[in-house]
Structure 1
Amino acid sequence: MLDIKDFSIFETQTGFDFKGFLIKIGSYWKWFLLSLLVTFTIAYEVNIRKEKIYGMETLISVKEENNPFFTSNTSLVFNWGGTSDQVQTISTTLQSRSHNELVVDKLQYYIGYLAKGKYNIVDAYGAVPFYVNIDKKKGQIAGNLIGIKFLSENEYEIRIPFESNSVSIVSYSDNSYRKTAVAKGDFVKRYKVGEQVSLPFLNWKLQIKDNPGFYKGNEYFVQFNDFDTTVSAYKGIIVKADDKGGSIITLGMQGTNKARMVEYLNSTVKMLIKRQLDNKNQFATNTIEFIDSTLVSMESQLKATTNELKSFRQGKNILDIQGDGSKFSDKALEFDVKKDEVTRKITYYNSLKAYLKNSVDYSKLPAPTVAGIEDPNIVVNVSKLISLSTQRSEMAYAVKSDKIFRDFDNQMEAIKKVLLENIATAKASLEYDLAMVNSKINQTESSIKQLPEDQQELIKIKRKYDLSDNIYSTFLQKRSEANIVKAANLPDIHFIDPAKDIGGGLIGPKTSVNYVLALFLGLLIPLIFVFGVFFVNNSIQNTEDISKLTQLPLIGVTGLSKEGTNLAVFERPKSALSESFRAIRSSLQFLYKQQQLDGAKTLMITSSVSGEGKTFCALNIATVFALSEKKTVIIGLDLRKPKLFDEFKITNEVGVVNYLIKQNTLDEIINTTQIPYLDVIVSGPIPPNPAEMIMSDAMKELIEELKKKYDYIILDTPPVGLVSDALELAQYCDVTLYIVRQNFTKKEMITLLNNRVKRGELHNTSIILNGFQNKAKYGAGYGYGYGYGYGSTTYSNGYHEEDKPKSFLQTILKKYRKNHMQ
């Protein structure tokens, strides 16, 4: 039937022993040191193999440059907006895909020039003594490393390892890819410098740079990379506007090759200047194109009227208009020119109105001044519309926000509405002017009709000629003005500090980060290991563990023997270990005194399982009693696994078993030892029924007889956690010592001990912590010379001989013998 005491295991739930965990961590300092050594070594190896990272910068300014030839008649300047707008536009453009595509294509940065470094292959752009000219329309092997070894100054060898029977070919004219068949293995072929290489997978001409230096015998590599991937890498250019000066922009790049970054930073700014100037001249360019197309038709018209005038004069023999005809002719020409100006303005307005209603791209609009329109509202709004349209198209490749495009569209829609209203107002005024001019022309023509017919005909032809000549001259003048404006335009972007390699610029790699990570991992890995060991190891570590698990008194703490024998007290009576057993002797005498015992005293020594040091403690406790000149006998009652006889170099042929079966007398089984006052009774032959023999009356008789001859009787019994022999012997004992071994006895065994004590199976039980080491990994240290008193924490400090330091080999041998003998 189960007893309620059997469930007492639930009474001893313990929390996390943080102090013990910290001490455990300290005990494994060698593992932490080794782990840190390994992680820091790895970090060092990683750091020295990392390529150095450099940072390069260029400084530019944005200043709106006005055309020095700007007048009301030459308002052909394209404006990007205010300075702040330009800075934002420039920042966006520099990071746009379309802009970087132009720069990468111009510099051919999709061609990688590489060389062998100390640990890996590195970017050698600017350091290789050659460059390759490629035909963009022909295919180049994509991604593979092309080895180039210079056999002489004028001859080189190409080596390409093919891992399969086909490779990818890229044509940079349209960035298209295709496959081509190759022979698996290494392709090797020699070429002359400057010789055209024409292969299915490679088409180039290798040229040597000026001042190449010594390169004979050196080996380099060329690699053709994906165009779009290369562009994406350069889109990450750093663009920062100066907080103190809004018109100052800093461009920065980070990478492993300073020469490549310097050239790219300067080239991207030059490309930006070119594009900005082209856009700035767009108004003038549009105007020139419009004028050129007009001049073509006007030139043919002027030529026709010239021939007509020449023919008329020859046929009629009239060279010039005379008298009143000259006056009428001049008036007619004046009114014709006026009419042409008004008509051209109306025509421009009609064309502009249709363009605004039917088109969405306004970047190609010609300047209003080309038609003689000087209305500031028209000129400014057309300029704004072209500016917004151009900016929107520039941002299309870099900005993905629909809101920004909607803002542009809303602004352009508002300007369009204003322009349409301005056009309607201007056209109404021009139509009135046209009616007035037509009226005056009619009056003049009425006067001309009064002249002779020849004069009328000559005036008619000359009017056509003079009008065409006047218009042609006007357009020539405007074209000249537009060219002057275009040539005089200045870019708004200027270099302050072009990128330049002046040494330094090293910003990486961040070796400190790797070392910090090494420190973290070097501590974390063994910490996790210790944490696992701490939780997996459910054994007794220190006295605090015992005090948490049981109310039974702890009367002593013993260490490990540093000698090759279990008779530690006899071999070294002044050692710390001997002092700890003397302290236990004092505690036992106090226990006996409490029980008011007279005569012989009995002591049973047991434990949970084998290997916890029962025999070791029994021998040394018996020794300290014997050394105090008390007649002491130690009985080996572990009938299943006898081993007491080995310690005294005697045989196990005659012992307790022989007495219990009435084969030998008491005097015949008692053995004297080299230790005065100490006798020993071994177990004897292993019986088939050890438990029954211990329960026999003969055992009681044995104890009674021994009490007559000895002061102290010490029973070395089997483990109580494995067999019941010790429980049967408990009735003969005054005190029971339960041996707990540090880092060996499981905590659950203490709970079982509590149950046995509560059920009365063991009585007057005390605990000894055996095998204690004064090291951090075993818990709080008390030293070998500390013994606990019964029910108190009093202890005595041993006066003992100091151990001489031993060599490392001696220490290993001692530990080996010690672990195998206990």
Structure 2
Amino acid sequence: MEQNETPTTEARAAARQGLTDKAIDLRKLLGMCRKYWYWFVISVIICCSLGYILYKRSTPVYSREAQVMVVRADNGSNSEIASSFSTMGLFQQTPESWTQMVTLTTPSVMLNVAERLKLNVAYTVEGQWHPEKLYGSTQPLVVEFPGLDTHGYATLETTIEPGGKIRLGQLRTNTEKGGSKVIDIDKTVNYVGGVELQTRAGLIKITPNPLYTGGPITEPVNMTVTHSSLYDTAVGLSGRVVASLHPQSDQIIVLTLSDSNPQLATDILSTIISAYNENSLKERAEIAEATSRFINDRLNVIEQELGSVESNISSFKSAHMLPDVDAASSMYMEQTNSASNALGDMTTRLTMTRYIRDFMASASNSNTVLPANTGVQDVNIEGQIADYNRTLMERNSLAANSSPSNPLVVDLDKRLEGLRRALIQSLDNAIASLNTSISSLQQRRSESAGKVATAPGQARYLLSVERQQKVKESLYLFLLQKREENELSQSFVPNRIRVISEPVGSPSPVAPVRDKILIIAFIIGLLLPLAVLFVIETLDNKVRDKRDFSPLGVPFMGEIPKNSVPYGLRKRKTSVARQGIVVEKDNLDMINEAFRVLRTNLEIVARRDGLSGATVIAVTSANPGSGKTFVSMNLASALAIKGHRVLMIDMDLRRATLSTILGSDSKSAGLVNFLVNPSAYDNNISNLIVRDLNDQPSLDLLPSGTVPPNPAELLADPALSALLADLREQYDYIFLDCPPVEIVADAQIINSQADMTLFIVRAGLFRRSELPTLEQMYDTKRYRNMSVVLNGVSDMGDGYGKYHYYKQGYRYSK
């Protein structure tokens, strides 16, 4: 017998708390995993099979990567000034690589790419496991929908047949109301020389693809042609292309694109680079042309003004026959030279600034690119002009490919309006600043010129006119220089980006990864049954094995396996329970061995407690169905096999379960009849005892007899004590099969006649929350020498693995 250690008061309180708040027993969970190992095998096989099917049905994705280097633009003095301010920490410059990286993936560039490669028309065929996209050398023909606009949607089901024929099936198009229209064309045409077919949805044009390199089609191929909005295609492509800076150089941009067709991904990246460079060259050509027109217009005006000033000087000198002004006022001219030169520079800048201001304020120039290198010599204004031109070019490009009502065009118009207002404000601030500087210079010059008051008035007039000549001449020379610079810049315009690595990538797909999917499926296959077992164990609030009694101080007498008949190839399955006495001599099955162990434990307890004479054992349980009757008669049979004289008394007077199972008629006389009228049987109970049960000469039964109206009063009758005293002289063990304790009070009444009590607990029926009540019964000594027997244990693998060894040993010894 296993005797639990007597825990302390604190340990017992903690144990009771643990019985109500069940924790997960990892050892038991591992035991369940070992018992249901085939769950894991089946789950892993199913999950890995599903993972493999998922892998085969997933469309393979290939990755392509291209690297380009940003060619830094040389902005001359403006760049140097901006760099100086950045070094001083006044403001931070945005690296050009970041600007180019963002611009490369804008919808305007992607719209150009989608239009060139006709990406808004997709061709797919059903493969063995998944749809396959056709493109380039794998695409046998080209289908066009001239009747649809760039924002239209259409889906055409076709079948390519041998001999250059194609059968057109259903055509699904969108309607103006947002719905769809289905047209069943059902026509077969020959597309080898190209064909145009007029349908109710518009014209369809089919031509062979000159890039197709596949062999002749020998069997019908179902192909779906999908026409999408060009704008939506560009927006989707913009989200798929990833642009990032190289980790080792901020001048190198890495473009990455993943697609199910590797050739398509390569062509898209190559087209993005070429389209971006072409757009960049076009933008800079337009800016240079606008700059050239601006310079030529100003040169014509200044040339006329300069000619007029020179004519005035010549006429004045001829009329007044004046000598050289420098010789006449050499003493004072040096004082005014510096002021005049500075004033001329300021006047030039003021003139250019006012011109740009008037140019911006004119409504006719709202969509015209502003000239670059205007000579304003203001870093912020030059930057604003560049930003305005870049945004305007992007707006014009989008408007040319779509319409002015395009949401992107409208957004860019709003942004241009904000940039225009900000630029005009900056120009106004610059004009005010220049006017202030000019006023200061004029005051200084006036002070110096006042010293020439003694010179003739003609000299002062001539000096003023010559000063105008110098201003006009310096402005004229400045514009000539800018025109030459603009012409030189147009003669050699490098690309904004230069390819340093063509689009390349692995021939193997980057997704899906077979090993990764199978590993995840394998892990899921292991976790699913583990989770199920975990949930089962978590929600299980019933007593299952002897470990549940370890926190208690109640003696544990033993455990009995589930009473069932094993069957199957390896005897792992069981049928319904066997009725009656199952303990047999020389039977070495698990349930027989369990009762032998229980018999040994019972004998040890009887000797330890010093019980002399016959031992009266009361057998009860907490609730019906616990198997107390089954344990009573089989434990009694095990004792009888060993040679003990054993009597079983059916004390369950209401149900008489023991009597019924062992074949006694409920109308037959028994214990009740004797207690009610002992004189009717000559005060001798022997005539009512059923002897030699199950062919065992030392195993007897005293049936309950007729069901009485007052069982509790009858069991409390002193006649029962006298009867048991007489029977003690005749038997070694007397088993009292009592009713459950939760039903009636009979068990507690009967227990006063017993020497010890076996409390039967049914595995899977008795709740763990009731274990503290069981311990309270033991602590309060409600039942004499109480011990617990666990009945109906399903898994005896951990506790009774020794039986297999014991069984083999018995056979070997025989």
TM-score by length of 1: 0.69
Query: Pairwise mapping of residues 562-581 of structure 1 onto structure 2 (< 5 A)?
Result: 567-572=581-586, 577-578=591-592, 580-581=594-595
Report the Cα offset of residue 204 of structure 1. 2.9
**1:636-692 alpha-carbon deviations (Å, 9 max, x no partner):** 233333344576667664543443454655232222231242222333455555445
C-alpha deviation, 1:235, in angstroms: 1.4
- Which secondary structure does the structure 2 equivalent of 1:598 belong to? coil
Counterparts of 1:22-41 in structure 2, within 5 Å, are 22-23=29-30, 25-26=32-33, 27-41=35-49
Residues 419-428 or 673-682, more deviating: 419-428
Structure 2 equivalent of residue 189 of structure 1: 187
Partner amino acid, structure 1, of 2:737 = D
Give the alignment's Cα RMSD to 1 decimal.
5.0
For the 8 Å contact 1:52–1:506, the answer to whether it is kept is yes
Equivalent AA in structure 2 for residue 17 of structure 1? A
* CA 1:584–1:284: 2 relative to 1, 3 Å: closer
Q: Deviations over 1:596-639 (max 9, x none)?
A: 44332211111122332222322233234323433221222333
**Number of the residue aligned with 2:264:** 260
Contact 1:180 1:201 in 2 (8 A): no
Cα distance in 2 for partners of 1:699, 1:215 equals: 102
In the aligned structure 2, how far is the partner of 1:113 from the partner of 1:264?
16
- 1:272 counterpart letter in structure 2: Y
Q: 1:243 to 1:181 in 2, by over 3 A?
A: closer
Question: Against the structure 1 CA distance between its residues 61 and 747, is the aligned structure 2 distance closer, same or farther, given a 3 Å change threshold?
Answer: closer
Q: Which residue of 1 aligns with 2:620?
A: 606
Distance 1:131 1:487 in 2: 40
Answering whether residue 768 of structure 2 is matched by residue 747 of structure 1, we say yes
Cα-to-partner distance string for 1:686-739 (whole Å, 9 max, x where unaligned): 555544543445534432332232222112222222233322321221111111
Does structure 1 residue 150 correspond to structure 2 residue 150?
no
1:570–1:675 contact (8 Å) kept in structure 2: no
Over the matched positions of the two proteins, sequence identity in percent amounts to 22
| Residue identity matched to 1:769 | L
Please show how residues 301-340 of structure 1 align to structure 2 within 5 Å.
none
Pairwise CA distance, 1:93: 0.7
Distance 1:600 1:350 in 2: 129
The residue matched to 1:118 in structure 2 has which SS?
coil
Alignment of structure 1 residues 724-735 onto 2, 5 Å = 724-735=745-756
Q: Shift in Å at residue 264 of structure 1? A: 1.3
* CA distance in 2: counterparts of 1:803 and 1:185, whole angstroms: 85
The alpha carbon displacement at 1:592 in A equals 3.8
1:135 and 2:146 matched: yes
Render the CA deviation track for 1:530-581: whole Å, top value 9, x for unaligned.
3443343322223332243x43222333334576565444333656655544
Partner deviation per Cα, 1:348-379 (whole Å, 9 max, x = no partner): 7763453367689797345779xxxxxx7769
Matched, 1:221 2:224: yes
Partner of 2:639: 625
Deviations 1:182-214 (A, max 9, x none): 5x6744234443332333424331111126442
AA matched with 1:55: S
Question: Which position in structure 2 is the counterpart of 1:672?
Answer: 692
SS in structure 1 opposite 2:206? strand
Preserved CA contact (<8 Å) 1:392 1:405: no
Selected match of 1:94 from 104, 108, 113? 104
Contact 2:758 2:789 in 1 (8 A): yes
Deviations 1:726-769 (A, max 9, x none): 22321221111111232332234444445555666422222122
CA distance in 2: counterparts of 1:584 and 1:438, whole angstroms: 129
Determine the structure 2 residue equivalent to 1:199: 199
Query: Does residue 1:364 correspond to 2:389, yes or no?
Result: no
Deviation at 1:523, TM superposition (A): 4.7
Q: Verify: 1:272 aligned to 2:290, yes or no.
A: no
Distance 2:151 2:533 in 1: 57
| Aligned residue-pair number | 675
Looking at structure 2, the residues matched to 439 and 579 of structure 1 have their Cα atoms a distance apart, in angstroms, of: 129
Distance 1:798 1:726, change over 3 A: farther
CA distance in 1, matches of 2:645, 2:469: 158
- Range with bigger deviation, 355-364 or 726-735: 355-364
Distance change (3 Å), C-alpha of 1:113 and 1:432: farther
- CA positional deviation for 1:51: 0.7
CA contact (8 A) 2:108 2:394 kept: no
Change (3 A) 1:379 1:433: farther
Instruction: For 1:448-463, list aligned pairs within 5 A.
Output: none
Equivalent residue in structure 1 for 2:536, among 533, 537, 540:
533
- SS of the counterpart of 1:571? coil
| Aligned: 1:551 with 2:559 | no
Q: Does 1:168 align with 2:174?
A: yes
Is 1:656 the counterpart of 2:697? The answer is: no
Instruction: Give, in whole Å, the separation in 2 of the partners of 1:749 and 1:481.
Output: 100
Contact 1:36 1:519 in 2 (8 A): yes
Return the alpha-carbon distance in structure 2 between the equivalents of residues 200 and 209 of structure 1.
25
Q: How do residues 507-518 of structure 1 correspond to structure 2 at under 5 angstroms?
A: 507-511=510-514, 514-515=517-518, 517-518=520-521
Equivalent residues of 1:388, 1:408 under 8 A apart: no
Q: Distance in 1 between matches of 2:482 and 2:793?
A: 108
Structure 1 residue 490: Cα displacement? 2.6
Which residue of 28, 37, 60 corresponds with 1:52?
Answer: 60
Structure 2 residue corresponding to 1:703, chosen from 716, 724, 729? 724
Q: Provide closer, same or farther for how the CA distance between residues 781 and 93 of structure 1 changes in structure 2, counting only shifts above 3 A.
A: same
Work out the CA distance in 2 between the residues paired with 1:763 and 1:535.
Answer: 35
Tell me, in whole angstroms, the C-alpha distance in 1 between the residues paired with 2:464 and 2:227.
Answer: 67
- Gaps of at least 5 residues in structure 2 are 1-11, 77-91, 305-317, 319-344, 396-407, 446-460, 471-475, 566-577
Q: Hey, what does 1:443 align to over in structure 2?
A: none
Q: State the SS of the aligned residue for 2:558.
A: strand
Contact map agreement 2:174 2:180 (CA 8 A) in 1: no
Name the CA shift for 1:186/1:381 in 2 (closer, same or farther; >3 Å).
closer
Q: Which residue is equivalent to 2:23? A: 17
Instruction: Identify which of 108, 114, 123 aligns with 2:118.
Output: 108
Determine helix, strand or coil for the equivalent of 1:18.
Answer: coil
In the alignment, is residue 159 of structure 1 matched against residue 179 of structure 2? Answer: no
User: 1:28-71: CA deviations, max 9, x gaps?
Assistant: 4443444444333333322221111111112222224789xx9x
> Hey, what's the Cα distance between the residues in 2 that align with 1:680 and 1:521?
58
Contact 2:554-2:778 within 8 A present in 1 as well: no
Per-residue deviation, 1:146: 1.0
- The 3-state SS of whatever aligns with 1:495 is strand
Whole-Å separation in 1 of the counterparts to 2:634 and 2:299 = 127
Q: Do 1:100 and 1:235's aligned partners in 2 also have CA atoms closer than 8 Å?
A: yes
Letter matched to residue 248 of structure 2:
K
Conservation of the 8 A alpha-carbon contact between 1:363 and 1:389? no
The secondary structure found in structure 2 opposite 1:508 is coil
Q: Is the 8 Å Cα contact of residues 84 and 246 (structure 1) preserved in structure 2? A: no
1:781 maps to amino acid: G
Find the partner of 1:122 among 123, 132, 135.
132
User: What is the letter of the counterpart of residue 628 of structure 2?
Assistant: K
SS in 1 for 2:652: coil
Partner of 1:781: 799
**How far off is 1:255 after superposition?**
1.8
Paired position in structure 2 for 1:491: 495
Whether the 8 Å contact between 2:62 and 2:510 is mirrored in structure 1 is yes
Contact 1:592–1:734 (8 Å) recurs in 2: no
- 1 CA distance for matches of 2:206 and 2:480? 50
Q: Does 1:615 align with 2:629?
A: yes
| Separation (CA, whole Å) in 2 of partners of 1:185 and 1:497 | 47
Question: What amino acid does structure 1 have at the position aligned with 2:25?
Answer: K
Aligned letter for 1:125?
Y
Q: CA 1:432/1:696 → structure 2, altered by over 3 Å: closer, same or farther?
A: farther
Match of 1:250 in 2: 254
Amino acid at match of 2:559: V
